Amino acid sequence: MKVVGMQPAVGRLCFRNKLVLAPMVRVGTLPMRLLALDYGADIVYCEELIDLKMLQCRRVENEVLETVDFVAPDEKVVFRTCQREKEHVVFQMGTADPQRALRVAQLVENDVAGIDVNMGCPKEYSTKGGMGAALLSDPDKIEAILLSLVKGISKPVTCKIRILPSLEDTVSLAQRIEKTGVAAIAVHGRKKEERPQHPVHCDVIEAVTKALSIPVIANGGSLDHVRVHADIAAFQAATGASSIMLARAAMWNPSVFRREGSLPLEEVMTQYLRYAVRYDNHASNTKYCLCQMLREKLESPLGKQLHAAQTTADICEVFGLQDFWKETEDRLQHRQSTVPAKNLNTEDLSEDSDVIKMPVKFDRREYAPQITPKMFLLEWSRKEKLPQPVYETVQRPLDRFFCSTVTAAGRKYRSTVWDKSKKLAEQAAAIVSLRSLGLPEGRLGEADSGLVNKRRREDPAGSDVAEEPAVPASEKQQPSLPWERVALWTKPSASVRS
Protein backbone atom coordinates (compact mmCIF):
# COMPACT_ATOMS: atom_id res chain seq x y z
CA MET A 1 0.00 0.00 0.00
CA LYS A 2 1.21 3.45 -0.86
CA VAL A 3 2.16 5.54 2.16
CA VAL A 4 0.20 8.78 2.61
CA GLY A 5 1.77 12.18 2.33
CA MET A 6 3.52 11.59 -0.99
CA GLN A 7 1.32 13.41 -3.53
CA PRO A 8 1.19 17.18 -3.77
CA ALA A 9 -2.24 18.77 -4.17
CA VAL A 10 -2.67 20.21 -7.64
CA GLY A 11 -5.66 22.40 -8.53
CA ARG A 12 -8.85 21.17 -6.89
CA LEU A 13 -8.08 19.68 -3.49
CA CYS A 14 -7.46 15.92 -3.64
CA PHE A 15 -8.17 13.71 -0.61
CA ARG A 16 -6.34 10.54 -1.65
CA ASN A 17 -3.05 9.57 -0.02
CA LYS A 18 -2.94 12.59 2.25
CA LEU A 19 -1.88 13.40 5.79
CA VAL A 20 -4.51 15.61 7.40
CA LEU A 21 -4.60 17.80 10.50
CA ALA A 22 -7.95 17.16 12.18
CA PRO A 23 -10.33 19.94 13.22
CA MET A 24 -9.77 20.67 16.93
CA VAL A 25 -11.53 23.35 18.94
CA ARG A 26 -9.10 26.01 20.24
CA VAL A 27 -6.17 24.15 18.66
CA GLY A 28 -6.81 24.41 14.92
CA THR A 29 -6.10 28.12 14.61
CA LEU A 30 -3.76 29.62 12.02
CA PRO A 31 -0.40 29.09 13.84
CA MET A 32 -1.06 25.37 14.35
CA ARG A 33 -2.27 24.88 10.80
CA LEU A 34 0.82 26.55 9.33
CA LEU A 35 3.11 24.56 11.58
CA ALA A 36 1.44 21.30 10.51
CA LEU A 37 1.96 22.25 6.86
CA ASP A 38 5.62 23.00 7.54
CA TYR A 39 6.11 19.55 9.03
CA GLY A 40 4.44 17.63 6.21
CA ALA A 41 0.64 17.75 6.53
CA ASP A 42 -1.07 17.95 3.14
CA ILE A 43 -4.44 19.25 4.33
CA VAL A 44 -5.33 21.20 7.47
CA TYR A 45 -8.82 21.63 8.92
CA CYS A 46 -9.69 24.67 10.99
CA GLU A 47 -11.49 24.31 14.30
CA GLU A 48 -15.28 23.90 14.08
CA LEU A 49 -16.96 27.29 13.68
CA ILE A 50 -20.71 27.63 14.21
CA ASP A 51 -22.80 28.86 11.29
CA LEU A 52 -24.76 31.47 13.26
CA LYS A 53 -21.54 33.05 14.52
CA MET A 54 -19.96 33.10 11.08
CA LEU A 55 -23.03 34.73 9.54
CA GLN A 56 -22.47 37.74 11.79
CA CYS A 57 -18.94 38.21 10.48
CA ARG A 58 -17.65 40.51 7.79
CA ARG A 59 -14.68 39.70 5.61
CA VAL A 60 -11.68 41.99 6.15
CA GLU A 61 -8.43 41.98 4.18
CA ASN A 62 -5.86 42.66 6.87
CA GLU A 63 -2.99 44.34 5.03
CA VAL A 64 -0.95 44.69 8.22
CA LEU A 65 -0.81 40.95 8.95
CA GLU A 66 -1.30 39.95 5.30
CA THR A 67 -4.27 37.79 6.25
CA VAL A 68 -7.97 37.53 5.51
CA ASP A 69 -10.00 37.91 8.69
CA PHE A 70 -13.64 37.15 9.37
CA VAL A 71 -14.52 39.60 12.10
CA ALA A 72 -17.51 39.47 14.47
CA PRO A 73 -19.51 42.57 15.49
CA ASP A 74 -17.52 42.75 18.74
CA GLU A 75 -14.36 43.08 16.57
CA LYS A 76 -13.06 39.63 17.53
CA VAL A 77 -11.47 37.63 14.73
CA VAL A 78 -13.47 34.40 14.40
CA PHE A 79 -11.46 32.93 11.52
CA ARG A 80 -8.09 34.06 10.17
CA THR A 81 -6.33 32.61 7.15
CA CYS A 82 -3.49 33.54 4.81
CA GLN A 83 -2.14 32.85 1.33
CA ARG A 84 0.28 30.18 2.60
CA GLU A 85 -2.56 27.77 3.43
CA LYS A 86 -5.14 28.81 0.83
CA GLU A 87 -4.74 25.63 -1.25
CA HIS A 88 -4.64 23.37 1.82
CA VAL A 89 -7.12 24.61 4.44
CA VAL A 90 -10.59 23.11 4.85
CA PHE A 91 -13.16 25.23 6.67
CA GLN A 92 -15.20 23.12 9.08
CA MET A 93 -18.56 24.43 10.19
CA GLY A 94 -21.11 23.37 12.76
CA THR A 95 -24.58 23.58 11.26
CA ALA A 96 -28.01 21.98 11.28
CA ASP A 97 -29.60 24.05 8.52
CA PRO A 98 -28.99 23.73 4.75
CA GLN A 99 -29.58 27.42 4.01
CA ARG A 100 -27.32 28.69 6.78
CA ALA A 101 -24.65 26.19 5.79
CA LEU A 102 -24.70 27.42 2.20
CA ARG A 103 -24.49 31.07 3.19
CA VAL A 104 -21.45 30.40 5.38
CA ALA A 105 -19.77 28.35 2.66
CA GLN A 106 -20.34 31.14 0.13
CA LEU A 107 -18.89 33.63 2.58
CA VAL A 108 -15.57 31.81 2.90
CA GLU A 109 -15.21 29.65 -0.21
CA ASN A 110 -12.90 32.01 -2.09
CA ASP A 111 -10.40 31.96 0.79
CA VAL A 112 -10.25 28.21 1.49
CA ALA A 113 -9.64 24.96 -0.37
CA GLY A 114 -12.71 23.08 0.83
CA ILE A 115 -15.75 23.05 3.13
CA ASP A 116 -16.48 20.42 5.78
CA VAL A 117 -19.56 19.79 7.91
CA ASN A 118 -19.02 18.49 11.43
CA MET A 119 -21.23 15.43 11.97
CA GLY A 120 -19.14 13.68 14.58
CA CYS A 121 -18.34 15.85 17.60
CA PRO A 122 -20.26 14.50 20.64
CA LYS A 123 -19.69 17.51 22.89
CA GLU A 124 -22.49 19.90 23.82
CA TYR A 125 -20.68 22.73 22.06
CA SER A 126 -21.44 20.92 18.79
CA THR A 127 -24.59 18.91 19.49
CA LYS A 128 -26.80 21.72 20.79
CA GLY A 129 -29.22 22.83 18.14
CA GLY A 130 -28.93 19.50 16.33
CA MET A 131 -25.35 19.99 15.10
CA GLY A 132 -22.31 17.71 15.31
CA ALA A 133 -22.98 14.10 16.28
CA ALA A 134 -26.68 14.96 16.72
CA LEU A 135 -26.95 14.94 12.92
CA LEU A 136 -26.15 11.21 12.83
CA SER A 137 -29.72 10.46 13.87
CA ASP A 138 -31.19 12.60 11.09
CA PRO A 139 -29.96 11.27 7.71
CA ASP A 140 -32.51 13.37 5.81
CA LYS A 141 -31.02 16.56 7.22
CA ILE A 142 -27.50 15.33 6.50
CA GLU A 143 -28.48 14.77 2.90
CA ALA A 144 -30.17 18.17 2.60
CA ILE A 145 -27.16 20.03 4.02
CA LEU A 146 -24.62 18.27 1.83
CA LEU A 147 -26.71 18.58 -1.35
CA SER A 148 -27.12 22.29 -0.68
CA LEU A 149 -23.36 22.73 -0.38
CA VAL A 150 -22.34 20.49 -3.28
CA LYS A 151 -24.72 22.30 -5.64
CA GLY A 152 -24.13 25.78 -4.25
CA ILE A 153 -20.34 26.21 -4.16
CA SER A 154 -17.39 25.49 -6.41
CA LYS A 155 -15.03 24.04 -3.77
CA PRO A 156 -15.02 20.38 -2.69
CA VAL A 157 -17.32 19.45 0.19
CA THR A 158 -16.56 16.85 2.86
CA CYS A 159 -18.08 15.75 6.15
CA LYS A 160 -16.72 14.09 9.27
CA ILE A 161 -18.81 11.44 11.03
CA ARG A 162 -18.59 8.97 13.88
CA ILE A 163 -19.63 5.34 13.52
CA LEU A 164 -23.18 4.26 14.40
CA PRO A 165 -24.16 1.48 16.83
CA SER A 166 -24.21 -1.12 14.03
CA LEU A 167 -21.82 -1.73 11.16
CA GLU A 168 -24.70 -1.98 8.70
CA ASP A 169 -26.13 1.41 9.69
CA THR A 170 -22.69 3.04 9.47
CA VAL A 171 -22.08 1.72 5.96
CA SER A 172 -25.60 2.64 4.87
CA LEU A 173 -25.20 6.22 6.09
CA ALA A 174 -21.80 6.54 4.41
CA GLN A 175 -23.25 5.30 1.11
CA ARG A 176 -26.09 7.82 1.35
CA ILE A 177 -23.55 10.58 2.02
CA GLU A 178 -21.50 9.50 -1.01
CA LYS A 179 -24.54 9.93 -3.27
CA THR A 180 -24.74 13.64 -2.40
CA GLY A 181 -21.55 14.24 -4.39
CA VAL A 182 -19.14 14.97 -1.55
CA ALA A 183 -15.44 14.72 -2.35
CA ALA A 184 -14.50 12.64 0.70
CA ILE A 185 -15.72 11.47 4.07
CA ALA A 186 -13.74 11.41 7.31
CA VAL A 187 -14.67 8.63 9.74
CA HIS A 188 -13.80 8.82 13.42
CA GLY A 189 -13.74 5.16 14.42
CA ARG A 190 -15.69 5.53 17.66
CA LYS A 191 -19.38 5.76 18.52
CA LYS A 192 -20.66 9.12 19.75
CA GLU A 193 -20.81 7.89 23.37
CA GLU A 194 -17.23 6.56 23.27
CA ARG A 195 -14.23 8.59 24.34
CA PRO A 196 -10.46 8.48 23.65
CA GLN A 197 -9.90 5.73 26.23
CA HIS A 198 -12.09 3.40 24.16
CA PRO A 199 -10.38 1.53 21.31
CA VAL A 200 -10.90 2.80 17.78
CA HIS A 201 -12.89 0.43 15.57
CA CYS A 202 -10.53 0.01 12.62
CA ASP A 203 -12.72 -2.77 11.19
CA VAL A 204 -15.68 -0.40 10.79
CA ILE A 205 -13.56 2.20 9.03
CA GLU A 206 -12.28 -0.58 6.76
CA ALA A 207 -15.85 -1.69 5.94
CA VAL A 208 -16.80 1.89 5.03
CA THR A 209 -13.69 2.20 2.85
CA LYS A 210 -14.58 -0.98 0.92
CA ALA A 211 -18.18 0.15 0.44
CA LEU A 212 -17.36 3.57 -1.06
CA SER A 213 -15.61 4.80 -4.18
CA ILE A 214 -14.76 8.24 -2.75
CA PRO A 215 -11.76 8.72 -0.43
CA VAL A 216 -12.26 7.76 3.21
CA ILE A 217 -10.11 9.57 5.79
CA ALA A 218 -9.45 7.52 8.94
CA ASN A 219 -9.44 9.35 12.27
CA GLY A 220 -9.24 8.38 15.93
CA GLY A 221 -5.98 6.45 16.17
CA SER A 222 -3.81 8.93 18.07
CA LEU A 223 -3.75 6.99 21.34
CA ASP A 224 -3.68 3.35 20.24
CA HIS A 225 -2.12 3.47 16.79
CA VAL A 226 -0.18 6.64 15.96
CA ARG A 227 2.46 8.00 18.29
CA VAL A 228 5.19 8.75 15.75
CA HIS A 229 5.24 9.19 11.98
CA ALA A 230 6.36 5.60 11.39
CA ASP A 231 3.02 4.39 12.87
CA ILE A 232 0.91 6.12 10.24
CA ALA A 233 1.35 3.49 7.53
CA ALA A 234 0.27 0.75 9.96
CA PHE A 235 -2.90 2.66 10.89
CA GLN A 236 -3.66 3.16 7.20
CA ALA A 237 -3.18 -0.56 6.57
CA ALA A 238 -5.45 -1.48 9.50
CA THR A 239 -8.27 0.72 8.21
CA GLY A 240 -7.72 0.48 4.48
CA ALA A 241 -8.39 4.22 4.34
CA SER A 242 -7.29 6.53 1.56
CA SER A 243 -5.87 9.10 3.96
CA ILE A 244 -5.08 9.57 7.65
CA MET A 245 -6.33 12.40 9.87
CA LEU A 246 -4.47 13.12 13.12
CA ALA A 247 -5.85 15.05 16.08
CA ARG A 248 -4.28 14.55 19.50
CA ALA A 249 -1.00 13.15 18.16
CA ALA A 250 -0.62 16.37 16.17
CA MET A 251 -1.79 18.53 19.05
CA TRP A 252 0.87 17.02 21.33
CA ASN A 253 3.64 17.40 18.77
CA PRO A 254 2.82 18.70 15.25
CA SER A 255 6.14 17.40 13.95
CA VAL A 256 4.52 13.94 13.95
CA PHE A 257 3.83 14.79 10.30
CA ARG A 258 7.60 14.75 9.51
CA ARG A 259 8.70 11.70 7.52
CA GLU A 260 12.16 12.16 9.05
CA GLY A 261 10.74 11.81 12.57
CA SER A 262 9.51 14.10 15.33
CA LEU A 263 11.53 17.08 16.53
CA PRO A 264 12.31 17.95 20.16
CA LEU A 265 9.22 19.44 21.79
CA GLU A 266 10.79 22.76 22.79
CA GLU A 267 11.94 23.34 19.21
CA VAL A 268 8.39 22.71 18.00
CA MET A 269 6.89 24.98 20.66
CA THR A 270 9.30 27.76 19.75
CA GLN A 271 8.36 27.55 16.08
CA TYR A 272 4.66 27.55 16.99
CA LEU A 273 5.20 30.65 19.09
CA ARG A 274 6.90 32.43 16.21
CA TYR A 275 3.80 31.88 14.08
CA ALA A 276 1.57 33.02 16.94
CA VAL A 277 3.51 36.28 17.22
CA ARG A 278 3.72 36.79 13.45
CA TYR A 279 -0.04 36.43 13.04
CA ASP A 280 -1.08 38.19 16.26
CA ASN A 281 -2.69 35.10 17.76
CA HIS A 282 -4.57 35.78 20.98
CA ALA A 283 -2.32 35.19 23.99
CA SER A 284 -4.82 32.93 25.77
CA ASN A 285 -5.11 30.68 22.71
CA THR A 286 -1.33 30.58 22.26
CA LYS A 287 -0.87 29.63 25.90
CA TYR A 288 -3.56 26.93 25.68
CA CYS A 289 -1.93 25.26 22.66
CA LEU A 290 1.53 25.35 24.23
CA CYS A 291 0.14 23.81 27.42
CA GLN A 292 -1.43 21.00 25.37
CA MET A 293 2.01 20.26 23.93
CA LEU A 294 3.65 20.17 27.36
CA ARG A 295 1.06 17.76 28.79
CA GLU A 296 2.70 15.89 31.69
CA LYS A 297 5.54 18.43 31.75
CA LEU A 298 3.26 21.24 32.95
CA GLU A 299 4.80 20.94 36.42
CA SER A 300 8.32 21.36 35.05
CA PRO A 301 10.11 24.72 35.48
CA LEU A 302 9.19 25.58 31.87
CA GLY A 303 5.57 24.61 32.47
CA LYS A 304 5.32 26.73 35.61
CA GLN A 305 6.78 29.75 33.81
CA LEU A 306 4.33 29.27 30.96
CA HIS A 307 1.43 28.96 33.38
CA ALA A 308 2.38 32.28 34.98
CA ALA A 309 2.64 34.11 31.64
CA GLN A 310 -0.29 36.38 30.82
CA THR A 311 0.63 38.19 27.61
CA THR A 312 2.30 37.21 24.36
CA ALA A 313 5.34 39.19 25.47
CA ASP A 314 5.43 37.15 28.72
CA ILE A 315 5.20 33.88 26.78
CA CYS A 316 8.00 34.96 24.46
CA GLU A 317 10.19 35.74 27.47
CA VAL A 318 9.65 32.18 28.74
CA PHE A 319 11.03 30.81 25.46
CA GLY A 320 13.79 33.41 25.02
CA LEU A 321 12.05 35.13 22.12
CA GLN A 322 11.92 38.65 23.56
CA ASP A 323 13.94 40.10 20.67
CA PHE A 324 11.79 38.33 18.08
CA TRP A 325 8.62 39.67 19.72
CA LYS A 326 9.99 43.22 19.79
CA GLU A 327 11.22 43.05 16.18
CA THR A 328 7.86 41.71 15.01
CA GLU A 329 5.94 44.36 16.94
CA ASP A 330 8.09 47.09 15.42
CA ARG A 331 7.64 45.66 11.93
CA LEU A 332 3.86 45.47 12.30
CA GLN A 333 3.77 48.99 13.73
CA HIS A 334 5.63 50.20 10.65
CA ARG A 335 3.25 48.35 8.34
CA GLN A 336 0.15 49.74 10.00
CA SER A 337 1.52 53.27 9.72
CA THR A 338 1.78 52.81 5.95
CA VAL A 339 -1.65 51.26 5.36
CA PRO A 340 -3.35 53.41 2.70
CA ALA A 341 -6.14 55.59 4.00
CA LYS A 342 -8.46 54.22 1.29
CA ASN A 343 -8.81 51.08 3.40
CA LEU A 344 -10.61 53.02 6.11
CA ASN A 345 -14.19 54.18 5.88
CA THR A 346 -13.56 57.42 7.76
CA GLU A 347 -11.51 60.56 7.56
CA ASP A 348 -7.72 60.23 7.28
CA LEU A 349 -6.35 61.16 10.69
CA SER A 350 -3.01 62.10 9.20
CA GLU A 351 -4.63 65.06 7.47
CA ASP A 352 -5.71 66.77 10.70
CA SER A 353 -3.72 70.00 10.43
CA ASP A 354 -4.65 71.17 13.93
CA VAL A 355 -3.21 68.10 15.65
CA ILE A 356 0.39 67.93 16.90
CA LYS A 357 1.75 64.48 16.03
CA MET A 358 4.81 62.40 16.93
CA PRO A 359 5.73 58.73 16.36
CA VAL A 360 5.50 57.71 20.03
CA LYS A 361 4.82 54.34 21.70
CA PHE A 362 4.27 53.90 25.44
CA ASP A 363 6.54 51.22 26.97
CA ARG A 364 5.65 50.47 30.59
CA ARG A 365 9.21 49.34 31.32
CA GLU A 366 10.59 52.83 30.68
CA TYR A 367 8.54 54.47 33.45
CA ALA A 368 8.67 54.48 37.21
CA PRO A 369 6.39 52.01 39.01
CA GLN A 370 2.79 53.17 39.32
CA ILE A 371 3.54 56.33 37.30
CA THR A 372 2.10 57.09 33.86
CA PRO A 373 2.21 60.04 31.44
CA LYS A 374 -1.57 60.44 31.78
CA MET A 375 -1.10 61.11 35.50
CA PHE A 376 1.48 63.80 34.77
CA LEU A 377 -0.74 65.48 32.18
CA LEU A 378 -3.74 65.40 34.50
CA GLU A 379 -1.81 66.83 37.48
CA TRP A 380 -0.22 69.55 35.35
CA SER A 381 -3.67 70.55 34.03
CA ARG A 382 -4.99 70.77 37.57
CA LYS A 383 -1.99 72.78 38.72
CA GLU A 384 -2.49 75.25 35.86
CA LYS A 385 -6.26 75.34 36.53
CA LEU A 386 -6.96 74.07 33.01
CA PRO A 387 -9.75 71.72 31.92
CA GLN A 388 -8.99 68.05 32.42
CA PRO A 389 -7.51 66.30 29.36
CA VAL A 390 -10.06 64.75 27.04
CA TYR A 391 -9.18 61.54 25.16
CA GLU A 392 -10.94 60.49 21.98
CA THR A 393 -9.96 57.08 20.70
CA VAL A 394 -10.74 55.29 17.45
CA GLN A 395 -10.29 51.64 16.53
CA ARG A 396 -9.91 50.33 13.02
CA PRO A 397 -11.26 46.85 12.23
CA LEU A 398 -8.43 46.30 9.77
CA ASP A 399 -6.23 45.10 12.62
CA ARG A 400 -8.23 46.20 15.73
CA PHE A 401 -5.52 48.70 16.70
CA PHE A 402 -6.24 51.98 18.48
CA CYS A 403 -5.22 55.59 18.01
CA SER A 404 -6.00 58.26 20.60
CA THR A 405 -6.12 62.05 20.44
CA VAL A 406 -5.88 64.07 23.65
CA THR A 407 -7.06 67.65 23.99
CA ALA A 408 -5.02 69.47 26.63
CA ALA A 409 -4.31 73.16 27.18
CA GLY A 410 -6.47 74.00 24.19
CA ARG A 411 -4.49 71.88 21.68
CA LYS A 412 -4.81 68.37 20.27
CA TYR A 413 -2.01 65.80 20.40
CA ARG A 414 -1.68 62.34 18.89
CA SER A 415 0.86 59.59 18.32
CA THR A 416 1.15 58.39 14.73
CA VAL A 417 1.84 54.87 16.03
CA TRP A 418 -1.27 52.71 16.43
CA ASP A 419 -1.48 50.39 19.43
CA LYS A 420 -3.25 47.15 20.35
CA SER A 421 -4.67 48.63 23.55
CA LYS A 422 -6.91 51.66 24.04
CA LYS A 423 -5.13 52.43 27.31
CA LEU A 424 -1.69 52.31 25.72
CA ALA A 425 -2.86 54.52 22.84
CA GLU A 426 -4.04 57.12 25.36
CA GLN A 427 -0.71 56.99 27.19
CA ALA A 428 1.08 57.59 23.87
CA ALA A 429 -1.11 60.62 23.18
CA ALA A 430 -0.31 61.96 26.65
CA ILE A 431 3.42 61.56 25.95
CA VAL A 432 3.09 63.61 22.75
CA SER A 433 1.32 66.34 24.72
CA LEU A 434 3.87 66.39 27.54
CA ARG A 435 6.89 66.43 25.22
CA SER A 436 5.36 69.18 23.11
CA LEU A 437 4.75 71.25 26.24
CA GLY A 438 8.23 70.54 27.61
CA LEU A 439 6.86 68.78 30.68
CA PRO A 440 8.12 65.73 32.60
CA GLU A 441 6.40 62.44 31.87
CA GLY A 442 7.70 60.07 34.56
CA ARG A 443 10.40 58.22 32.63
CA LEU A 444 13.06 56.38 34.59
CA GLY A 445 16.08 58.59 35.25
CA GLU A 446 14.04 61.75 34.94
CA ALA A 447 14.58 64.30 37.69
CA ASP A 448 11.77 64.38 40.26
CA SER A 449 9.49 67.24 39.23
CA GLY A 450 7.15 66.96 42.21
CA LEU A 451 4.28 67.12 39.73
CA VAL A 452 2.88 63.75 40.81
CA ASN A 453 3.06 63.24 44.57
CA LYS A 454 3.69 59.78 45.94
CA ARG A 455 2.54 58.17 49.11
CA ARG A 456 3.75 54.92 50.57
CA ARG A 457 1.18 52.16 50.79
CA GLU A 458 1.44 49.76 53.73
CA ASP A 459 0.19 46.26 54.18
CA PRO A 460 -1.79 45.31 57.35
CA ALA A 461 1.42 44.29 59.06
CA GLY A 462 2.87 47.76 58.56
CA SER A 463 5.60 46.87 56.04
CA ASP A 464 6.12 49.04 53.01
CA VAL A 465 5.09 47.27 49.79
CA ALA A 466 4.89 49.89 47.05
CA GLU A 467 4.75 53.50 46.11
CA GLU A 468 1.80 54.89 44.19
CA PRO A 469 0.66 58.36 43.20
CA ALA A 470 -1.92 60.08 45.29
CA VAL A 471 -5.17 59.85 43.31
CA PRO A 472 -8.45 61.37 44.51
CA ALA A 473 -10.90 58.79 45.77
CA SER A 474 -13.54 60.00 43.36
CA GLU A 475 -11.34 59.00 40.45
CA LYS A 476 -10.59 55.58 41.91
CA GLN A 477 -14.33 54.91 41.94
CA GLN A 478 -14.60 55.81 38.26
CA PRO A 479 -12.02 53.83 36.31
CA SER A 480 -13.78 54.69 33.05
CA LEU A 481 -13.81 58.47 33.05
CA PRO A 482 -16.89 60.11 31.51
CA TRP A 483 -14.85 62.30 29.16
CA GLU A 484 -13.06 59.34 27.59
CA ARG A 485 -14.92 58.28 24.45
CA VAL A 486 -14.23 55.52 21.95
CA ALA A 487 -15.29 55.58 18.32
CA LEU A 488 -15.14 52.63 15.94
CA TRP A 489 -13.78 52.79 12.44
CA THR A 490 -15.42 50.48 9.96
CA LYS A 491 -14.34 49.10 6.64
CA PRO A 492 -16.81 47.72 4.09
CA SER A 493 -16.39 44.00 3.65
CA ALA A 494 -15.47 42.64 0.28
CA SER A 495 -18.41 41.54 -1.82
CA VAL A 496 -19.54 37.97 -1.06
CA ARG A 497 -22.33 35.78 -2.30
CA SER A 498 -25.32 35.58 -0.01
CA angle in degrees (0–180, nearest 5) for 74-77-83: 155
Residues 200-253 have pLDDT tens digits of 999 999 999 999 999 999 999 887 899 899 999 999 999 999 999 999 999 999
Are both 362 and 332 inside the same structural domain? no
Q: Kindly report the average pLDDT of the chain as a whole number.
A: 86
Same domain (yes/no): 215, 83 = yes
| pLDDT attached to residue 453 | 60
The last residue of one of the domains, among 419, 437, 455, is 437
pLDDT of residue 482: 30
Give the strand pairing for 58-62 and 464-469. Answer: unpaired
The phi-psi region of residue 79 (left if phi > 0; otherwise alpha if psi is between -120 and 50; otherwise beta) is beta
Residue type for position 388: Q
Q: How many domains does the chain have?
A: 3
CB-based contact 7:17 (threshold 8 Å):
yes
Q: Are residues 313 and 251 in the same domain?
A: no
pTM for this entry: 0.71
Domain that holds residue 359: 355-437
346 falls within a domain: no
Among 14, 121, 202, 403, the active-site one is 121
What CATH code is carried by the domain that includes residue 245? 3.20.20.70
* Rounded Cα–Cα distance for residues 232 and 217 (Å): 12
Say whether both 252 and 360 belong to one domain.
no
28/100 same-domain check:
yes
Is 373 within the bounds of a domain?
yes
Boundary residue ending a domain (206, 232, 263): 263
User: Would you call 57 a catalytic residue per the annotation?
Assistant: no
Give mean pLDDT, residues 307-321: 95
In-domain check, residue 468: no
Do 242 and 272 have their domain in common? no
- Among 64, 16, 39, residue whose Cα is nearest residue 184: 16
